[in-house]
Amino acid sequence: MEFGIFSNGFRPHSTAAQAYGEDLSEIVLADQLGFRYAYISEHHGEPVYIDKVDTLPVPELLMCKAAALTREIRMGAAVKLIHLAHPVDTAIQAAVTDHVIGGSRFIFGFGSGFPNPLFTGERGLSHTDRHERLRESLDLILRCWTAKEPFDWDGKYWHGKGIVATPQPLVAPHMPLATATDTEAMIDLAGARGYTQLMAQLEPAASIRRKGDRYARAAKAAGRSAPLSNIAVARYVWLADSRREAMDDLRADINDELGYQMKRGLIRLIKSNYDIGLKGDEVTFDQLAEAGIYYLGDPDTVARQLREFYDAAGGFGTLLIVTGKKWATREKVFRSMRMFMEHVAPKLASLRPVRDPDVVAA
């Protein structure tokens, strides 16, 4: 197993510069500790965030600065909402990022993102056909990266004449790709093409296993070996000397974030994914911790919990621990990350997902 961080930014408003500085400090430490990957959320503004929470709508800019401060960690968006912008501009920005970061360290992560119609409405686009538009966006982006002559594009959603997209990616045909998706067609495409499949931190083990099976079947049909190794799964992980200490570290800050997330509609995802007896539209950190959504406590306990989750999820290749949060203090965040890599990661590093996909019922 490999390890990474999912910088899923949420920091109460100070200035965006301060929020980005904290994100960078965690990425730099992750590189020093030996984490292999840093996936960084693309977060756009929403009414609930105005003058209260800082967002990062262009994670590639943060990656370029992080590349100068780190040595080996590989970085990608989780995820870039490629259905929102013209694909020619997206392709060019990604290729420039690839060259600036260099050393095959950039991953093009893409997807449709949190299903908020605000984002498409702001841009005069349709929310209902975002998945179809995303697929056309991907096709045009790939064409931009490989075309050797100017070309025209006359699609259903995007149009262009005499397109010249330079520079092209650093290494032909393009950098590695990763996607987070719930659509069966995109899971099939990702598996067949070898794109990394990203799984979110609130996704339960049974769902990860089902999607992993579909991904693996598509990959095997395309002749790809060890497909489950190309699945990356995010989890909330916090190390301390005890579970009680861990919960005391996090309770106030996570409850504060939940207040915003409930207003964004996150309660629907929690209710659909976990049967924890919620009667209204509010949930607390203690309820989510009791449901096992957070992996908390001393290293032995957390390692055991993560191993049990790994088995229930059917195996995967990369574990991403969530960062980018205003949790406790910087010192405690860093201590948790160090304890994870020093005492938990070695207990999981030998895991290899070798099972065949589950048989589909007739």
CA 199-205-208 angle, to 5 degrees, is 40
**CA dist 159 → 29, 145, 151 (Å):** 43, 17, 11
Cα within 13 Å of Cα(302), Cβ side: 28
CATH code of 309's domain: 3.20.20.30
pLDDT number for residue 27: 98
Where are the alpha helices (H) located in 110-242, listed in sequence order?
A: 117-122, 130-146, 184-193, 205-221
Q: Which of 161, 165, 126, 125 is nearest to 144 (CA)?
A: 165
* Residue 189 belongs to a domain: yes
Report d(CA 110, CA 280) in Å as an integer: 33
Report d(CA 47, CA 58) in Å as an integer: 18
Q: Which of 321, 315, 355 is nearest to 27 (CA)?
A: 321
The partner residues of 321 in beta bridges, in order of sequence, read: 5, 235
Q: Is the pTM of this model over 0.75?
A: yes
**DSSP tag of 361:** P
Number of domains in the chain: 1
Positions in the chain whose pLDDT score sits under 70: 280, 359-362
Please say whether the beta carbons of 246 and 330 come within 8 A: no
The two tokens of residue 308 are: 């049990």
Please say whether the beta carbons of 328 and 14 come within 8 A: no
* Residue 300 belongs to a domain: yes
Cβ burial of 188 (10 Å; 0-12, 13-18, 19+) is middle
* Residue 252 belongs to a domain: no
pLDDT number for residue 332: 98
pLDDT number for residue 356: 86
- DSSP E strand boundaries for the chain: 2-12, 37-40, 53-54, 74-77, 80-81, 106-111, 151-154, 159-163, 177-180, 196-199, 231-239, 294-297, 318-325
* Residue 285 belongs to a domain: no
Helix H or strand E encompassing 287: helix 285-290
* Residue 100 belongs to a domain: yes
* Residue 235 belongs to a domain: yes
pLDDT number for residue 242: 98
The residue with tokens 């800050």 is: 253
Domain that holds residue 78: 2-243+294-348
Report d(CA 228, CA 194) in Å as an integer: 10
pLDDT number for residue 358: 74
* Residue 282 belongs to a domain: no
Please say whether the beta carbons of 160 and 153 come within 8 A: yes
* Residue 264 belongs to a domain: no
- Sequence-distant (≥ 6) Cβ neighbours of residue 244 within 8 angstroms: none
The two tokens of residue 302 are: 């957390």
